[in-house]
Amino acid sequence: MNTYAKAECHSCHIRLPKNEMHSEEITYNSGHSGISFSFGGKCPRMNTGRQYYRNKTIWYCKDCSDNTPKKIFYLILLDSFIKETKNDET
């Protein structure tokens, strides 16, 4: 019998097989490099560093997949759009 790898739900932290869950790819800020100075050549230069980003796969169980932050954000936008159109009609 085959077994599936398990993952933990990002919201409720329950561990389930991955075939019973939904995944979402997110990008997050993982750090930054520091400031550097260069005094060679005609004029001195300063580099303020850069930001480093990583991709991460997060998993949601079927119960929590309807409550992901992205879906909640779109539902709030949709709700405000509906309220605005109703106000414009009256």
- At 70, the pLDDT band (50, 70, 90 cuts) reads low
Q: Is the per-residue pLDDT at 67 higher than 80? A: no
pLDDT of 89 higher than 70: no
- Sheet strands (E) in 1-90: 6-8, 15-17, 21-32, 36-38, 45-47, 51-61
Which pLDDT score, from 0 to 100, does residue 80 have? 83
Nearest Cα to 56, choosing from 8, 4, 14, 16? Answer: 8
Distant-in-sequence, close-in-space partners of 70: CB < 8 Å, separation ≥ 6: 24
Per-residue model confidence as pLDDT tens digits over 21-54: 999 899 999 998 998 888 887 888 888 889 999 9
